[in-house]
Chains A and B, each alone.
Chain A
């Protein structure tokens, strides 16, 4: 599933994340493979329990994976790593979390939260430099430098999420995993945060893995989209193709369930239901368009493409 010419910043190869007893494991992530190219935004969508958050957290090493390889910038992320190797990964890939209320330590000020990484990595030891850097980060996310001394609970949800973004930027990473960063926010605040993420991407040349369940926002911000269901990627392709020419029946059912702000069309909308059938081992990824792949057996994929 390669795009010619572009550089891969992240390669996920046959990653498995199984929990529970080895004889009857819960397959949270069940053999997924995809690549993320430098500078793009890959959206990872699916409903609760599909494994998208687990995938994100496995990439950033919050969990150890059960099988497969995660290769970041040519280097294997998992396996035996020295402390300095691990610190190197920290400085190149970071994460933005979902819950603006739980992702900030209630006992710390905004400045302390943003500057925590500096303490951990021994950066900006000079007080003045450190303060200046924290101010720069606050302003980069649309907050004031006066906010540095305020405690997390004094901020609104949207402002807290901005602090979380500033924290993720503090080590100047190349790659950011955004794990449902807007799900807990009001509609107009979601738009503010999404705009901010887009601007930051342009300014800093960031690559994003955008994990979410809201397909509309994902489609808006992503270049490519991967659709997950029960631990597997069902379909992956360019955002427009996924949205306008979906092939996998699950993708179609997901799209048909999104309510649009169009009352007349909503009144006559016919939702497509999805009935899941287990596919056998012969299932694999089949190319159905430019950079567009679907998971299934050869026969099934043929019928799906015909019904496109």
Chain B
């Protein structure tokens, strides 16, 4: 049984703005084991980026406020730590990679130095050893001619190559946890595939845990062991990747899956969309935040926030539809048909 390296308990984060107090994260709970990848899926305004930035205490305070909750990294709560104490954690134990490789790299500094800087900051090694390690890292992330590339500037690399450099920098001090915030969203699909493969390789060899934030369900299916679906600042469904994709229980998850076109079953029907827009978090709605956009909403959804219902050891969903008194709503047709198709393909493959 691998050990748990991160436990987030009831995290609540607010922001003070001109328009009022924004409740960006409203009670988020999840954990992460050594060597596994947790995908946090959500759309704009879901709170996924705020959550991931919060893990590294990167939320500027003000206007951010860590209202309540705990972030237990290897048993130690990070929230009370001072900025000075956090600098020992960042890079060293938890590292982060962002979406845009162009702005993540210092354009005036050679790439090699950006890597060795991290190593020398956190490890007591000589400059020569740091350089050796940096070249190893460049090789590990798949950059050809690493000795030559070590001396080059970011603008001499293509987008995909830059993102590899960003990953090398993140891994430089051997962090136990890597947070990747939409690392492939800005990349072409073939480059994205390469970067995802790279990340999985690295995870296998270094046993790094990864939190992968994205809005692309295909990418989630590709990289994740477990998934947390976020909506309006909360996790609404949580489980293994198979739980979420083959047995989704929350109507928002159904909506996300339905929004993707089914390419195997050719149909002229319109996509099953989620109507409306996400709620304004300066005034979070009473009850279930998804109710207004949920065709299966019940009276209770407008009055009380649902608790997390347990579906199995690994699978949880925050919807009143799982209450014993609620009507049994089957999976919407489009989503069900596609899942059937996938399971049939898998069965075929196994024969």
A195 touches B216 (CB 8 A): no
- Judge whether B266 and A261 touch: CB under 8 Å: no
Do the beta carbons of B263 and A220 come within 8 Å of each other? yes
Contact with B along A197-236 (1 / 0, CB 8 A): 0110000000000000111110110000000000000000
Once A187-B217, A271-B197 are accepted as A-B contacts, the answer to whether A195 and B241 lie under 8 Å apart by CB is no
Contact of B221 among A198, A214, A261, A271 (CB under 8 A): A261
Q: In the bound complex, what is the Cα–Cα distance between A258 and B270 (angstroms)? A: 22
A128, B122: Cα distance in complex, Å? 69
Expressed in whole angstroms, the Cα–Cα distance for A236 and B166 within the complex equals: 37
**Distance A159 CA – B278 CA, assembled complex (angstroms):** 12
Interface size class of B (residues with CB under 8 A): 35 or more
When the two chains form their complex, are residues B193 and A259 in contact, meaning their CB atoms are under 8 A apart?
A: yes
> B-side binding surface: helix, strand, loop or mixed?
helix
Q: Is A85 an interface residue (CB 8 A)?
A: no
Q: Is the CB–CB distance between A47 and B189 below 8 Å?
A: yes
Q: B277: shortest Cβ distance to chain A, in Å?
A: 6
CB–CB A271/B346 < 8 A? no
Partner pick for A195 among B192, B257, B271, CB 8 A cutoff:
B271
- 0/1 per residue, B221-248, Cβ < 8 Å to A? 1101000000000000000011001100
> With contacts A190-B259, A216-B260, A271-B197 known, is A259 near B218, CB below 8 A?
yes
Partner of A47, one of B190, B216, B221, B275: B190
Taken together as a complex, chains A and B put the C-alpha atoms of A45 and B219 apart, in Å, by 20
Bound: A199/B159 CA distance, A: 36
Residues on the A chain within 8 Å of B189, using CB: 47, 213-215, 254, 257-258
Least distance between B35 CB and chain A CB atoms (Å): 16
Which residues, 327 to 351 on B, are CB-close (under 8 Å) to A? 338, 342, 345-346, 349
By beta carbon, the residue of chain A nearest B268 is A198
Main secondary structure of the interface of A (DSSP, over half): helix
Question: For residue B349, which residues in chain A have a CB less than 8 angstroms away from its CB?
Answer: 265, 268
Question: B222 and A188: CB pair below 8 A?
Answer: no
Interface hub of A214, A215, A253, A258 (most chain B Cβ within 10 A): A258
CB distance from B239 to the nearest CB of A (A): 11
Confirm or deny: B103 has a beta carbon within 8 angstroms of a beta carbon on chain A. Answer: no
Residues in A whose Cβ lies below 8 Å from that of B338: 261
Q: Are A191 and B221 in contact (CB under 8 A)?
A: no
Please name all residues of chain A whose beta carbon is closer than 8 Å to the beta carbon of B192 when the two chains form the complex: 257, 259
Contact of A264 among B220, B242, B260 (CB under 8 A): B242
Instruction: Tell me the bound Cα distance from A240 to B261 in angstroms.
Output: 13
> Quick check: is B215 within 8 A (CB to CB) of the other chain?
yes
Task: List 8 tightest A-B contacts by C-beta distance, closest first.
Answer: A259-B218, A220-B261, A191-B259, A186-B43, A47-B188, A257-B193, A191-B271, A191-B273
- List residues of chain B with CB within 8 A of the CB of A269: 222
What is the CA–CA distance of A215 and B193 in the complex, to the nearest angstrom? 14
Is B55 in the interface zone, CB < 8 Å from A? no
- 27 A-B contact pairs sorted by A residue (CB < 8 Å): A158-B277, A186-B43, A186-B44, A187-B256, A187-B259, A188-B43, A190-B259, A191-B272, A192-B274, A192-B275, A195-B270, A213-B188, A214-B189, A220-B261, A260-B221, A261-B217, A261-B218, A261-B221, A261-B338, A262-B245, A263-B246, A264-B342, A265-B342, A265-B345, A265-B346, A266-B222, A269-B222
Is B221's CB under 8 angstroms from A266's CB? yes
Q: How far is the CA of A32 from the CA of B196 in the complex (A)?
A: 33
Closest-CB distance, A172 to chain B (whole angstroms): 23
List B contacts of A265 (CB < 8 A): 342, 345-346, 349
- Chain A residues with Cβ below 8 Å from B221 are 259-263, 266
Is A249's beta carbon under 8 Å from chain B? no
Q: Does A156 contact B (CB under 8 A)?
A: yes
Contact A259 B270 (CB under 8 A): no
Residue of B nearest to A253 (CB): B190
| Cβ contact within 8 Å between A259 and B216 | yes
| Interface presence of B69 (CB below 8 A) | no
Alpha-carbon separation in the docked complex, A262 to B219 (Å): 10
Residue of B nearest to A250 (CB): B190
A140 contacts B by Cβ under 8 Å: no
